[in-house]
Structure 1
Amino acid sequence: MKNNKQCGLFLMFCFLSITSGFSQVLVKRQVTLMGSVFEITLVDRDSSIANQHIDEVISEIDRIENLISEWRPQTQIAEVNRNAGIKPMKVDREVFELTQRAIKYAQNSDGAFDISIVALDKVWLFDGSMTTMPAEEVIKNSVAKVGYKHIRLDSAASTIFLELPGMKIGFGSIGKGYAADRGRQIMKEKGIVAGIVNASGDLSAWGNPPNSDAWKIGVNNPFKPHRMVKVLRFNEMSVATSGSYEKYAEINGKRYAHIINPVTGYPATGLTSVTIYGPSAEIANALSTSIMVLGEREGKKLIQQFPAYHYIFITDQGKVIRQR
């Protein structure tokens, strides 16, 4: 599991309008946050008010990044990582509960999802230069500092302790989905009737755009450029896609995804793209990443535990598998 995700989604909507006797405008803005391009779209009374609300969404996402980024040295997660193998670190309840949920996702997927994957040794190259497999011992050693079972939580003290020196945790796999969900939540609390918080393909939407009864999200087919597998029509829903169609290694005719199995250290194989849609972008994030690692058969078993979520898989051979 690695936090580089390809979106595979195409948003389709129109601008402008007059609905139900009052004017509505659709305003969108792009900004780089959490190392990704966020596109925030709001339906509001006028563009000035919409932009003020977009500023509030941006502030919320930046607040989250300043709590959970493993790259910003002042964050609580960076402090947890610096004290791996030394001592537990107290964190805000929000950070504690996000970590708690991440461990639950790891348990549900038998370790296919693991926020400690950031401690992985980089033994695979996905720039086209790798033509032979790394040695088995090298691959095995690459996950020596990885393992969610070594993350110790103390709920009463609100602390996180990483048992292994050199161990690290990071939220690249679900952090953007969590931020998208939070952006939607605070806008709904303010009475904003519709919008989308899109974190490079991990998105949360609500309401409907002007002059339409639903948002439309097209799921791309990586094997057939400019063709869509499906157009999703929805009001309140979240979508996340994990894929390997731009970053992979091909060795002896077999494709190895850039998404690494945290248990074995080997890249995922079998699936090129996994799109999950349902109520929460965070959960859809966790499921899409897990299923890329687990593959089609085990992935279907996993998602059966989440009846509110649906899937579109595309195999390495280009076969499209959709939930009926």
Structure 2
Amino acid sequence: MPFVATHSPLLGTDVEVRVEAPQDVALDADSAAVDEFERLIAVFSVYDESSELSRWRRGEIDEVSPELTEVLAAAQYWHGASAGAFHPGIAALRRRWLVAMADDELPDRGELAELAAACAELPFTVTDGTVQRLSDCSGVDLNAIAKGYIVDKGCEAASTQPGVDAVMINAGGDLRHRGAGSVLVGIEDPAAPFDNSPPRWRVELSEAGLATSGAARRGFRIGGRWLGHVLDPRTGWPVSHTTSTSVIAPDAMTADALATVLGVLPPAEALSRAEAEQWACLLVAGDGSCTTSPAWPS
């Protein structure tokens, strides 16, 4: 039987660590994973004013760690590769929706379009491993990609402990498996997003990452209408055509980014892009119907 531990709260969620190893080795591997999580949370947290990301956003530091550089570079890559469907700097749009929810009044589409246009370009660039600020970076938020990165690094820290055969880490739907064998993981039904709901789908994962992005648990309720938290950075409007997007990729950070990108794109465009790039994805539409790309395991 594998060693299983759940840590909460960590990354704002329950983090499950599964280790295939003798008990004493598994305990060390679990500790290594948690230590790495805590180290990287101190880098990427937007809720901790003393985190490295928070200090960089305020302009208090210019030189940043290799870890922050790596994730900023990945965010820059996916922003370009997705033609803006992935954007790590739309805090102004999110703030506007929070105001709309407090006022219980939908924002004007023209106003949102202006806000989206104002933040369309990234306020930073990463070139040859060097981060350069181009403008105000206070709105940079890496949550849509840093969580997967932290899961990857925690899994790496645990799996490289001597005597460990395999590790799987699940941080609220962001998963990574490393090592021998495989694990069967469940994907929740976005129409029944409760902790005790059985998964609607199951998929086998081996030496890979999986991430799910959707509107089930978080969003904005305005005028009796529920709008998911996933915003299209190009329009500023919440995505409604897709309620859940799951992606399998070589690592959790890539899966994290792709789940956001493919969830923002219209379904036909998302599936066409996934097929062309051989990305494995499962899309759930607003009516509950689901479609998979050819690379998704049968």
TM-score by length of 2: 0.85
User: What is the match of residue 214 of structure 1?
Assistant: 182
Deviation of 1:258 (Å): 1.5
Q: How many residues align?
A: 290
Structure 1 residues 15-94: aligned runs within 5 Å: 16=1, 25-46=2-23, 48-83=24-59, 89-94=62-67
1:199 aligns with 2:171: yes
What CA distance in whole angstroms lies between the structure 2 residues aligned with 1:253 and 1:57?
Answer: 42
**Deviation at residue 256 of structure 1 after TM alignment:** 3.4
- Worse-matched range after superposition: 246-255 or 167-176: 246-255
> CA offsets per residue over residues 196-229 of structure 1, 9 Å max, x none?
1111110101346xxxx63111222233684644
Q: Which moved more, 1:259-268 or 1:138-147?
A: 138-147
Shift of 1:32: 2.1
Say whether the 8 Å CA contact 2:155–2:178 is kept in structure 1.
yes
Shift, 1:107, TM fit: 0.9
Partner in structure 1 of residue 239 of structure 2: 268
1:10 alignment counterpart: none
Structure with greater proportional helix content: 2
Change in Cα spacing, 1:282 to 1:236, as seen in structure 2 (3 Å) is same
CA displacement 1:143-168 (0-9 Å, x = unmatched): 46633433233536x3331413x642
Contact (CA 8 Å) 1:271, 1:313: kept in 2 or not? yes
Q: CA RMSD in A?
A: 2.9
> Which residue of 97, 116, 134 maps to 2:89?
116
Instruction: Quote the residue 1:311 is aligned against.
Output: 281
Change (3 A) 1:315 1:43: same
Which has the bigger relative contact order, CA under 8 A and spacing at least 6? 1
Query: Structure 2 stretches of 5 or more lacking a match?
Result: none
Conserved? CA contact 2:29–2:157, under 8 Å: no
Instruction: Please say if 1:322 is aligned against 2:295.
Output: no
Change (3 A) 1:69 1:39: same
Shift of the 73–79 alpha-carbon distance from structure 1 to 2, 3 Å rule, reads same
Q: What is the alpha-carbon distance in structure 2 between the residues aligned to residue 305 and residue 121 of structure 1? A: 32
Asked if the contact 2:187–2:200 (Cα under 8 Å) also holds between the matched residues in 1, the reply is yes
- What TM-score results when the alignment is normalised by the length of structure 1? 0.78
Which residue of 72, 82, 95 corresponds with 1:99? 72
Say if 1:224 and 1:183 are closer, same or farther in 2 by CA, change over 3 A: closer
Unpaired runs of at least 5, structure 1? 1-15, 17-24
Provide, for residues 54-83 of structure 1, a one-character-per-residue CA deviation record: whole Å limited to 9, x for no partner: 111111111111122233223332122112
Give the Cα–Cα distance (whole angstroms) in 2 for the partners of residues 98 and 238 of structure 1: 16
Correspondences of 1:248-263 after superposition (within 5 Å): 248=219, 256-263=227-234
User: Identity over the aligned pairs, expressed in percent?
Assistant: 22
Query: Which secondary structure does the structure 2 equivalent of 1:206 belong to?
Result: strand
**Deviation at residue 273 of structure 1 after TM alignment:** 0.6
Paired letter, 1:149 = L
SS at match of 1:177: helix
